[in-house]
Structure 1
Amino acid sequence: HTHFTAYSWRLLFTVTRSIIFLLFPQIFPEAEGWPFPKYLGSCGRLIVTASTRPLKEFYSSPPEVAADLALQLLSLVNSMRNNDMNYFFYFVHVDAGTFGIFNNGLLFIRDASTLGIIDKQEGLQMTDEQQEYKDIFSCLASDCQSAFPSCNSVKEKQSLVMVCQELLPKLLKGKFLQPVQEKIDRFLRLCADSFRADQEVSDAAGKLTELLKSLQSCDSHFAYRYPDCKYSDKY
């Protein structure tokens, strides 16, 4: 039997988080449309792009840039909740360092250490046998003396609420003329309300998404979707 000190648990937790951070971009590669940086090799050698910038540098950006990034954030969170692979990704925490921007204007997840995943195809409920079984990795996420947390404790709205609380207000506050700004602020308040039902939060985020789409412009400044947008009926 191995004796783990408090330092050992912290070290193991740090190593495990690092492994998870490396595995996400390899299992869900950028080449297949997942919003992670590109990694090469079995050990996850990162292609470093000097022109990437953290989201916080865009808080003072012009309205058209702020609207574009906010729309990307909402679309990213929605795609991580609903995708053809039937995986449900969720954040346990977000901040300005969680996301970054490539030089072409495309938003990506630069820190996956606070990202969790549930395979919806396997179902959300755990069997009694699974709930009783404990190993050292289970103890990293919860107290070994308490019951193993159910996947059902993760709400559909969780990531949306975090993004609407922590990031979107800093991007969108005071950027637009009335009555557009008033609508944006109202949808943000509803989306950021953790006491509302999942569907209410999702509906508010959907209305905000549609409003932001109407504010998008099509020019070469947004290289990640130009010139494709020239041939789209949206513009």
Structure 2
Amino acid sequence: MIIYWIHDPILYVCNIFKFKKWRILLFIGICAFVLRINIIIQSLYPSVTQLTEQHKCPACYGVSACYNIHQINLLWHNINTIVSHLFGVKNVFFATYNQSKVVLKKLAQSSELKAFDVALCKKLHLEYPCMNVLLDKYIVDFDNSIKETITSNFSKDDSSRLRLCPTIQHLDDLFYNIHLNNKHIDPTQYLINLWTLVSLNPEPLILQILSAENGWPVPKYFGACGRIIIEEYIGPPLSDYYDKSWIQRAKIVSSLLNAAHMFTFKNKKFGFYLTDVSADNIAVDYKNVAKFIDLENIIVVDKNISLEGIPKEWHELQKNIMHFDCSNCFAFSAEDICNHHLSDHNYYAICQLLLDSTNENVFPGGFLHDVPVNIQLRYPNIEYLLQQCAIPNSTNSRIFFGQQLKTSLDAILEELF
């Protein structure tokens, strides 16, 4: 009995310890599991603050929208946001801002952003990663780097998405609105922001040069915070309107032809030629007005260059004839566009898209398919004008036929409304 009472308390204590140890291990395991789940959730559904990556500034897009970034609410219940984040490569997110729907863009794929960071560290002669570098440590001539990136030399493989040609003599005129919007930013920080954008994706620059507030057919730009930008959500893509009523489609086509005219003629100093026109890069607002939502690929032609060293064909209209040798493709020569003060490229790109001779049946029969009989009788040249705008076979230019098509469509719309 004595031995029983001596060993029983010891056994009892050991059992308690084992039980508590098991509970402690279980608790640690649950905490680790919850932590792992939380990490997975954060990677699947990052917060706005995580998306901004502000620690990478000044090698970012700017900080103009950081002061109210907390007002951005990501729409993770929106299936498009989830699908885009999980399976897309464009890093595009949908959100609300001041009760309006907006689009958040990181402007590049994750792999492209990492490659940029690596290149930046190499440029600064630092080991990767090299974030949180003080401004006074940036000894690189970013002003010259910007000019080198926006190159007018098309004889080499140029990765620049924003091209100013045939000279960069008036670069400050092109960037006037951008300079104005950032006049309170530290000059070095501003130049690094500019260089980052022209290197990765110049869309925010274009949205400020061709601002929606001045009537350009682009989204409104709300600013940048770190490595995201915030812009207006326009509406569904152009492809969603293929089965809409003919009148609705006619309104959209009229707005597209108006956009072609604006990009080509509206600015007296520069011509803007979009080199990536597709159904996915155009959205339509509630008024059936088409707007261009992807502006990273653009050629800007300085219309007022010095007569010294002027290209011999400068005063002629540049006509795209490459499509005659390229069946079912979208082909153009950037060098040809740059050697002329005026090009029909925007009409070529838009009318080719509408005709669907180059887009693998995005719009079978063309976007203006099935013209109503009564309209066909009164305006029998609608299809002909679109065809001639895409691939002209007369002495008149694409621009002429595009303007004639818009005039006809506007006359139809005015009669019916």
Q: TM (normalized to structure 1)?
A: 0.68
Q: Is 1:156 matched up with 2:343? A: yes
| Pair 1:196–1:125, CA change in 2 (3 A) | farther
Decide which structure has the larger Cα Rg and report it.
2
- 1:53 alignment partner AA: P
Task: List gaps (5 residues or longer) in structure 2.
Answer: 1-110, 117-158, 162-196, 312-333, 357-365
| Pair 1:192–1:149, CA change in 2 (3 A) | closer
| Pair 1:124–1:103, CA change in 2 (3 A) | farther
Please say if residues 77 and 160 of structure 1, whose CA atoms lie closer than 8 Å, have aligned partners that are also in contact: yes
Please say if residues 124 and 152 of structure 1, whose CA atoms lie closer than 8 Å, have aligned partners that are also in contact: no
**Alpha-carbon separation, structure 2, partners of 1:201 and 1:117:** 20
Q: Deviations over 1:114-153 (max 9, x none)?
A: 322112123698679xxxxxxxxxxxxxxxxxxx946116
2:388 pairs with one of 162, 169, 190: 190
Give matches, 1:1-235, under 5 Å: 13=159, 16=198, 18-41=200-223, 45-49=229-233, 52-122=235-305, 149=335, 151-152=338-339, 156-168=343-355, 170-177=366-373, 178-179=376-377, 182-193=380-391, 199-216=396-413
Q: Deviations over 1:42-66 (max 9, x none)?
A: 65732343x6111111111101101
Structural RMSD (CA): 3.4
Return the offset for 1:70: 0.5
- 1:81 alignment partner AA: T
Q: Report what 1:144 is aligned to.
A: none
**Alpha-carbon separation, structure 1, partners of 2:200 and 2:308:** 27
Q: Deviations over 1:161-180 (max 9, x none)?
A: 12111225532122332335
SS at match of 2:244: coil
Return the offset for 1:195: 6.6
Bigger relative contact order (CA 8 A; separation at least 6): 1
Please say if residues 90 and 117 of structure 1, whose CA atoms lie closer than 8 Å, have aligned partners that are also in contact: yes
- 2:266 alignment partner AA: N
Please say if residues 64 and 217 of structure 1, whose CA atoms lie closer than 8 Å, have aligned partners that are also in contact: no
Q: Give me the identity figure in percent.
A: 20
**Alpha-carbon separation, structure 2, partners of 1:211 and 1:79:** 18
Return the offset for 1:204: 1.2
SS at match of 1:36: coil
- 2:219 alignment partner AA: P
Please say if residues 95 and 167 of structure 1, whose CA atoms lie closer than 8 Å, have aligned partners that are also in contact: no
**Alpha-carbon separation, structure 2, partners of 1:188 and 1:17:** 37
Q: Report what 2:174 is aligned to.
A: none
SS at match of 1:186: helix
Task: List gaps (5 residues or longer) in structure 1.
Answer: 1-6, 129-147, 220-234
| Pair 1:104–1:84, CA change in 2 (3 A) | same
